[in-house]
Chain A
Amino acid sequence: MKTQTNLLNLLLVLALFGFVSCDDSDTTEEIVPLVEETAFDVPADPDMSGGFTYFSFENGIVDSTQANSDAWDLAFSGTTILTNGGASGPGQGAGLVVAGIFENVSEVQENELKIDAEGSPAIQGSDSQVENVPGWYTYTGEAPSGPQRAIIAVPGRVIIVKTAKGNFAKMEILSYYEGNPDTTTDEFANFATRPASRHYTFRYVVQKNGGNVF
Chain B
Amino acid sequence: MLYALFLSQFSNELSAQALKIEGTITDERGQPASYANVLVIGTDKGVTADEKGNFLIKGLEAGEYRLRISRIGASAIEERFELMEGATPQLQISLPNANKKLDEVTVTATRTPRNVEDVPLRVDVIQGEQVEQMGALRLNEVLAEQMGLQITSDHGTGLQMQGLDSDYILILIDGEPVIGRTAGTLDLSRIAVDNIARIEIIRGPSSSLYGSEAMAGVINIITKEGTSGFDASLRGRYRSFNTSDLSTTLSYRNDKLSASLFVDRLFSGGYDLTEESVSMTSPPFEAYTFNPKVAYRFSDKVRLSVNGRFYTESQENEADIILDGETVRIDDNGQRQDWNLMPTLELLPNDKHRIQLRSYTTGYETETALTYQNDGALYDENFFNQLFNRSEVQYDWYLNDRNIITLGGGHTIETVDATRYADVNNFRATYGFAQYQFNPNKRLDMVVGGRFDTHSEYASRFSPKLAVGYELKDWIKLQASLGGGYKAPDFRQLLLNFTNPTAGYAVVGSSIAQEQMAEFTERGLIANVLIDPSTIETIKAESSIAYNFGVELTPTDKLTVNVNAFRNEIDNLINAAPIARKTNGQNVFSYFNEDEVITQGVDLQLRYSILDNLTFLLGYQYLDSRNVGDVEKIKNGEIFRRDPSTNRTLAVSLSEYGGLVNRSRHSGNAKLLYTNIRHRFDVSLRGIYRGRWGVGDLNGNGVVDTEQEFAQGYVQLNLAINKDISDWLTLELGANNLLDTTNEFEPSMPGRILFGGLNMRLPGRNR
**A146 with B644, Cβ < 8 A, contacts A102-B649, A130-B529, A141-B505 known:** no
| Residue contact B651 to A156, C-beta cutoff 8 Å | yes
**A130 with B640, Cβ < 8 A, contacts A142-B505, A146-B700, A152-B700 known:** no
Tell me if B682 counts as interface (CB < 8 A to partner A): no
Per the 8 Å Cβ criterion, residues 172-212 of A in contact with B are 172, 174-175, 180, 182-185, 201, 203
Tell me if A101 counts as interface (CB < 8 A to partner B): yes
CB-contact partner of A138 in B585, B640, B648, B700, under 8 A? B700
Determine the distance from Cα of A172 to Cα of B650 in the docked complex, in whole angstroms: 12
Whose C-beta in chain A lies nearest to the C-beta of B637? Answer: A101
| Residue contact B697 to A155, C-beta cutoff 8 Å | no
| Residue contact B700 to A139, C-beta cutoff 8 Å | no
Tell me if B534 counts as interface (CB < 8 A to partner A): no
CB-contact partner of B645 in A138, A145, A182, under 8 A? A182
Tell me if A6 counts as interface (CB < 8 A to partner B): no
Name the B residues within 8 Å of A102 (CB-CB). Answer: 648-649
Tell me if A213 counts as interface (CB < 8 A to partner B): no
**A203 with B505, Cβ < 8 A, contacts A140-B700, A141-B586 known:** no
Name the A residues within 8 Å of B644 (CB-CB). Answer: 182, 184
Name the A residues within 8 Å of B699 (CB-CB). Answer: 146, 152, 155, 183-184
Closest-CB distance, A105 to chain B (whole angstroms):
11
Q: Which of A140, A144, A152, A182 has the most chain B CB atoms closer than 10 A to its own CB?
A: A182
Tell me if A25 counts as interface (CB < 8 A to partner B): no
| Residue contact B587 to A155, C-beta cutoff 8 Å | no
| Residue contact A201 to B698, C-beta cutoff 8 Å | no
Per the 8 Å Cβ criterion, residues 118-154 of A in contact with B are 128-130, 138-142, 144-147, 152-154
| Residue contact B698 to A184, C-beta cutoff 8 Å | yes
Q: Which of B587, B638, B642 has the most chain A CB atoms closer than 10 A to its own CB?
A: B642
Tell me if B8 counts as interface (CB < 8 A to partner A): no
Determine the distance from Cα of A185 to Cα of B708 in the docked complex, in whole angstroms: 8
Determine the distance from Cα of A102 to Cα of B650 in the docked complex, in whole angstroms: 9
Q: Which of A141, A144, A174, A201 has the most chain B CB atoms closer than 10 A to its own CB?
A: A141
Determine the distance from Cα of A155 to Cα of B531 in the docked complex, in whole angstroms: 23
Closest-CB distance, B656 to chain A (whole angstroms):
13
Determine the distance from Cα of A81 to Cα of B649 in the docked complex, in whole angstroms: 20
Tell me if B366 counts as interface (CB < 8 A to partner A): no
Name the A residues within 8 Å of B696 (CB-CB). Answer: 144-146
Residues of B contacting A: mostly: loop
Tell me if B758 counts as interface (CB < 8 A to partner A): no
Whose C-beta in chain B lies nearest to the C-beta of A128? Answer: B530
Q: Count contacts between A and B, CB distance < 8 Å.
A: 86
| Residue contact A155 to B505, C-beta cutoff 8 Å | no
Closest-CB distance, B152 to chain A (whole angstroms):
14
Tell me if A15 counts as interface (CB < 8 A to partner B): no
**A156 with B531, Cβ < 8 A, contacts A142-B500, A172-B649 known:** no
| Residue contact B530 to A155, C-beta cutoff 8 Å | no
Name the A residues within 8 Å of B64 (CB-CB). Answer: none
| Residue contact B695 to A182, C-beta cutoff 8 Å | no
Tell me if A99 counts as interface (CB < 8 A to partner B): yes
Per the 8 Å Cβ criterion, residues 150-208 of B in contact with A are none
**Per-position binary interface string of chain A over residues 69-96, scored 1 when its CB falls under 8 Å from any chain B CB and 0 otherwise:** 0000000000000000000000000000
CB-contact partner of B649 in A146, A156, A183, A201, under 8 A? A156
| Residue contact B651 to A129, C-beta cutoff 8 Å | no
Determine the distance from Cα of A172 to Cα of B530 in the docked complex, in whole angstroms: 25
Tell me if B374 counts as interface (CB < 8 A to partner A): no
Closest-CB distance, A153 to chain B (whole angstroms):
8
Name the A residues within 8 Å of B650 (CB-CB). Answer: 101, 155
| Residue contact A139 to B585, C-beta cutoff 8 Å | yes
Determine the distance from Cα of A10 to Cα of B587 in the docked complex, in whole angstroms: 56
Name the A residues within 8 Å of B587 (CB-CB). Answer: 141
Determine the distance from Cα of A203 to Cα of B648 in the docked complex, in whole angstroms: 9
Per the 8 Å Cβ criterion, residues 529-578 of B in contact with A are 529-532, 578
Whose C-beta in chain A lies nearest to the C-beta of B502? Answer: A142
Closest-CB distance, A185 to chain B (whole angstroms):
8
Closest-CB distance, A90 to chain B (whole angstroms):
29
Per the 8 Å Cβ criterion, residues 608-645 of B in contact with A are 637-642, 644-645
Per the 8 Å Cβ criterion, residues 692-718 of B in contact with A are 695-701, 706, 708-709
12 contacts between A and B (CB under 8 A): A102-B648, A130-B530, A130-B532, A141-B503, A141-B586, A141-B587, A142-B503, A154-B640, A174-B648, A180-B647, A182-B644, A184-B709
Closest 5 CB pairs of A and B: A145-B696, A156-B640, A174-B647, A155-B640, A146-B698
- B interface, CB within 8 angstroms of A: 500, 503, 505, 529-532, 578, 585-587, 637-642, 644-651, 695-701, 706, 708-709
- A interface, CB within 8 angstroms of B: 99, 101-102, 128-130, 138-142, 144-147, 152-157, 172, 174-175, 180, 182-185, 201, 203
